[in-house]
Amino acid sequence: MKGLFITLEGLDGAGKTTQLHKAAELLRQQGYEVVESREPGGTELAEQVRALVLDSALPLNNTTQTLLYLAARSEHVDKLLRPALEAGKIVLCDRFSDSTLAYQGLAAGKTLEELQELRQLNAFATEGLVPDLTLVLDGDPKLLLKRRDARGVTDRYEEQGLELQYKLRSAFTALAEAEPERMRIINAEGSTDQVNAAIMAGINDFLERMQ
């Protein structure tokens, strides 16, 4: 595969979406062709699955949620991500397989050892597509939740409050510690510009190492 697959992960309210747009713009200014996408989503069907799975009025157990995320991911990889990567583009994606490991895995009570099954399911859904680089936006959930409240957005997970966010923070930290080559933790507590600078440093460092 000729392109480069970069994912942004982290807690709700960490500012991933804003940061993803900024990073994409800066990379375009550097002359790269960049595709922005998100999960769940990125294709028409996957966006419909997103609406279903994030609707907190629909009670869904953890297995059903997992399978919906994986169905959306399979579509997304097949129709958008793999073609863009094969065309040599940089793909920036807001969440991917690590979110399933964090939300439906560790934060749902599974141990690191028990993630094996979810890892296999991710591999099945993506036909083995793994990000080249994953930036995990990290910070104190209390601080990040204040920002989220200011945005006024809630979904199934955000409604579960601070306790879940602390579990997610530990989950993403554990995942990053297990794969330090691929996953980098970025401090998301600073200003938008500071976080952007840290993200660009992470991406540019990676691009330099690739050359």
In the complex, the residues that contact ligand TMP under the rule CB under 6 A are: 12, 16, 38-40, 54, 69, 94-95, 99-100, 103-104, 155, 157
Give the span between the Cα atoms of 65 and 60, in whole angstroms: 6
Quick one: 75 or 94, whose CB is closer to ligand TMP? 94
CA 176 to chain centre: 13
Quick one: 103 or 172, whose CB is closer to ligand TMP? 103
Specify the pairing of strand 90-94 against strand 4-10: parallel
Q: Could you give the 3-state DSSP secondary structure of residue 31? A: coil
Q: How far is the CB of 101 from ligand TMP (least distance, A)?
A: 8
Quick one: 150 or 210, whose CB is closer to ligand TMP? 150
Give the span between the Cα atoms of 181 and 200, in whole angstroms: 17
Annotate 95-162 with three-state secondary structure. Answer: CCHHHHHHHHHHHHCCCCCCHHHHHHHHHHHHCCCCCCEEEEEECCHHHHHHHHHHHCCCCCCHHHHH
Q: How far is the CB of 108 from ligand TMP (least distance, A)?
A: 9
Give the HSE-up count for residue 127: Cα atoms under 13 Å, Cβ half-sphere.
Answer: 8
Quick one: 90 or 118, whose CB is closer to ligand TMP? 118
To 10 degrees, the CA torsion angle through 64, 75, 42, 135?
A: 80
Q: How far is the CB of 79 from ligand TMP (least distance, A)?
A: 16
Quick one: 154 or 207, whose CB is closer to ligand TMP? 154
Quick one: 38 or 184, whose CB is closer to ligand TMP? 38
Cβ-closest position to ligand TMP: 103
Residue 70, judged by CB atoms within 10 A of its CB (0-12, 13-18, 19+), counts as buried
Q: How far is the CB of 160 from ligand TMP (least distance, A)?
A: 9
Q: How far is the CB of 156 from ligand TMP (least distance, A)?
A: 7
Q: How far is the CB of 209 from ligand TMP (least distance, A)?
A: 27
